[in-house]
A and B are shown apart, each in its own frame.
Chain A
């Protein structure tokens, strides 16, 4: 695993080679962070704290200033989740683990399940998928296609049928037929749609009623191109379904997903996975090192 010191070293080297800390530095720092969707408040806070540090330490030599800045960036790095438990929680032996996927429309829930199911199947887990998006046109077919690619089983329901019924059937089958992991795909819904949020709660209760320890993970999928609204998504999905972690998708694009810093600060939700493309292999565990580097790299 990555350590703070190796991260600091790497940044130190980069800064020393590419960037002088002059008057423009703090302005540009602030702008870089805002451009990464970190949000105005946090960008300002980081920049202010940095300037205070430099002043406090009476850092005058170029080297001292730079060291202070690196220290602060490492702070940000820790805030981003370095050294934190972002592993997936599993059920006690003999029971299936249930992973419930939630999020707004089009962020990448179904695709992430397609990728992750393959990952666990390759670890010789017996994997089942539940197509509990009975609403969107082609949603079930999409998950069924992923199941075929992954060579895993899938439980489906009729178009427009009650998604909780699909969840019920899937959990029952997972228990009866001794699956290791059940992935539950849900329809995208906007967090301010109260009816649909209640429907989601109902699905979660359906799981818990059959398996009191489940779901082991409720993963909120966030699109890295989303701006400040992602914070509100995290708040309301956490309220209704007790989210256990985040998946940040579409990091292969030019967006940085900086809003997760604000989400972490307020809600303390760890990012567990990142999506890096549309292929089955384009999923990786969250790496705070790379994430923070991504946020700042335009500054260097």
Chain B
């Protein structure tokens, strides 16, 4: 049950076509089935995979692929273009407030990588833009969440605001923002506790923090290994908060990362950054085309097509 890549899939599906000269709609559907399977193996949500295939089918018929010279290559190109398109064509930078500070709030499920991402982004701003960020420790629930952020802050020489675990996160955020004003910090990151999108109490807390902080950026942090449920999570957080962007973490693994497509489709919000390791420097901007090839597992055939 190894992950067969799409290249070999499509080649198998189209194997019989080469000699035949003309390709039928049935042949096309056979190929599309293989593509659908590849999407599902990559954890693209079933419903999204389905609508994706429908769109590809329409385009393929419209482009008269079946009458062309190289139907399989043309289909692959349509698939790849469509996917890259859906991922958002360009890399989108972090939002910036016209007056300081720019406030960035994190949100996401438990263990997704929020705290690590705060450190990575703050470090990047500090290094690239000489920014003077402040990190607010608003996770009072997870054992040693504050110590985690403090340790990272210490390593990076970036200040961390905390009030221990006995103060309500809303109050911590208020007081943290006050300190940022006094200290003229140009960026503020709010590290929030992980929570389930169905946890009403904790989701209300996030909404309250959002009202207090009026963040310029609300980053939903999602583990790239997430399965079919990515749509529900993304929808839940987006409905509650109106997220402004997504960070996809743990892409240094061997997951195909189909969740990226699901999240993008249900929220319509750009994926801005990807996490590619545990170190603070393991952060990159998001490249839609790379992600598209990764999901389809077809980097090799694309370079083949580009050569011809």
Taking Cβ atoms with an 8 Å cutoff, the residues of A that contact B are 31, 34-37, 39-41, 104-108, 114, 135-139, 141-142, 144-146, 149, 190-193, 223, 225-232, 250, 252-256, 259, 262, 266, 278
Which of A37, A138, A250 has the most CB atoms of chain B within a 10 A radius of its CB? A138
**A41 and B1 contact, CB distance less than 8 A:** yes
- Please tell me the number of chain B residues within 8 Å of chain A, measured between CB atoms: 46
Q: Which residues of A contact B230 (CB under 8 A)?
A: 225
**B1 and A225 contact, CB distance less than 8 A:** no
Question: Which residue on chain B has the smallest CB distance to residue A159?
Answer: B151
**A226 and B228 contact, CB distance less than 8 A:** no
Known: A40-B37, A145-B144. 6 other contacts (CB 8 A): A37-B228, A41-B1, A107-B111, A142-B148, A190-B254, A225-B227
CB distance from B131 to the nearest CB of A (A): 21
Given the contacts A225-B233, A266-B1, A142 and B41 also touching, CB distance less than 8 Å: no
**A31 and B46 contact, CB distance less than 8 A:** yes
Q: How many A-B residue pairs have CB under 8 A?
A: 140
Q: Which residues of A contact B147 (CB under 8 A)?
A: 137-138, 141-142
Q: Which residues of A contact B141 (CB under 8 A)?
A: 278
CA distance A262 to B43 in the complex (A): 14
- Taking a contact as CB atoms closer than 8 A, the residue among B37, B41, B223, B259 that contacts A106 in the complex is B223
**A137 and B41 contact, CB distance less than 8 A:** no
CA distance A104 to B253 in the complex (A): 9
The main secondary structure of chain A at its interface with chain B is: loop
**A227 and B43 contact, CB distance less than 8 A:** yes
Q: Which residues of A contact B253 (CB under 8 A)?
A: 104, 190-192, 229
**B1 and A37 contact, CB distance less than 8 A:** no
Given the contacts A141-B148, A226-B225, A254-B198, A104 and B41 also touching, CB distance less than 8 Å: no
Q: Which residues of A contact B226 (CB under 8 A)?
A: 225-227
Taking Cβ atoms with an 8 Å cutoff, the residues of B that contact A are 1, 37, 40-43, 46, 109-113, 119, 141-145, 147-152, 155, 196-198, 223, 225-230, 232-233, 250, 252-256, 258-259, 278
Question: Which residue on chain B has the smallest CB distance to residue A135?
Answer: B278
**B227 and A255 contact, CB distance less than 8 A:** yes
**A225 and B46 contact, CB distance less than 8 A:** no
Question: Which residue on chain A has the smallest CB distance to residue B41?
Answer: A228
- Taking a contact as CB atoms closer than 8 A, the residue among A37, A107, A231 that contacts B229 in the complex is A37
**A137 and B152 contact, CB distance less than 8 A:** yes
CA distance A65 to B151 in the complex (A): 61
Given the contacts A36-B228, A138-B148, A226-B227, A253 and B254 also touching, CB distance less than 8 Å: no
Given the contacts A34-B40, A136-B278, A227 and B1 also touching, CB distance less than 8 Å: no
**B111 and A106 contact, CB distance less than 8 A:** yes
Q: Which residues of B contact A278 (CB under 8 A)?
A: 110, 141-142
10 contacts between A and B (CB under 8 A): A41-B1, A105-B278, A106-B112, A106-B250, A141-B147, A145-B144, A223-B111, A228-B227, A229-B254, A254-B229
The main secondary structure of chain B at its interface with chain A is: loop
CA distance A262 to B46 in the complex (A): 18
**A104 and B143 contact, CB distance less than 8 A:** no
CA distance A254 to B232 in the complex (A): 8
Q: Which residues of B contact A40 (CB under 8 A)?
A: 37, 40-41
Question: Which residue on chain A has the smallest CB distance to residue B44?
Answer: A227
CA distance A217 to B55 in the complex (A): 49
**A227 and B258 contact, CB distance less than 8 A:** yes
Question: Which residue on chain B has the smallest CB distance to residue A236?
Answer: B254
**B258 and A253 contact, CB distance less than 8 A:** no
Q: Which residues of B contact A230 (CB under 8 A)?
A: 225, 227
Q: Which residues of B contact A36 (CB under 8 A)?
A: 228
Question: Which residue on chain B has the smallest CB distance to residue A37?
Answer: B227
**A191 and B254 contact, CB distance less than 8 A:** yes
**B46 and A34 contact, CB distance less than 8 A:** yes
CA distance A139 to B148 in the complex (A): 7
CA distance A157 to B152 in the complex (A): 18
Question: Which residue on chain A has the smallest CB distance to residue B253?
Answer: A190
Question: Which residue on chain B has the smallest CB distance to residue A223?
Answer: B111
**B198 and A137 contact, CB distance less than 8 A:** no
**B143 and A114 contact, CB distance less than 8 A:** yes
Given the contacts A137-B148, A229-B254, A106 and B113 also touching, CB distance less than 8 Å: yes
**A229 and B43 contact, CB distance less than 8 A:** yes
> Which 6 pairs from chain A and chain B are nearest by CB?
A227-B227, A138-B148, A106-B111, A227-B43, A145-B143, A141-B144
Q: Which residues of B contact A266 (CB under 8 A)?
A: 1
CB distance from A286 to the nearest CB of B (A): 19
Given the contacts A31-B46, A106-B112, A253-B196, A227 and B228 also touching, CB distance less than 8 Å: yes
CA distance A73 to B44 in the complex (A): 26
CB distance from A231 to the nearest CB of B (A): 8
CA distance A31 to B144 in the complex (A): 40
- Taking a contact as CB atoms closer than 8 A, the residue among B144, B151, B250 that contacts A190 in the complex is B250
**B225 and A229 contact, CB distance less than 8 A:** yes
Q: Which residues of B contact A137 (CB under 8 A)?
A: 119, 147-149, 151-152, 155
CB distance from A252 to the nearest CB of B (A): 7
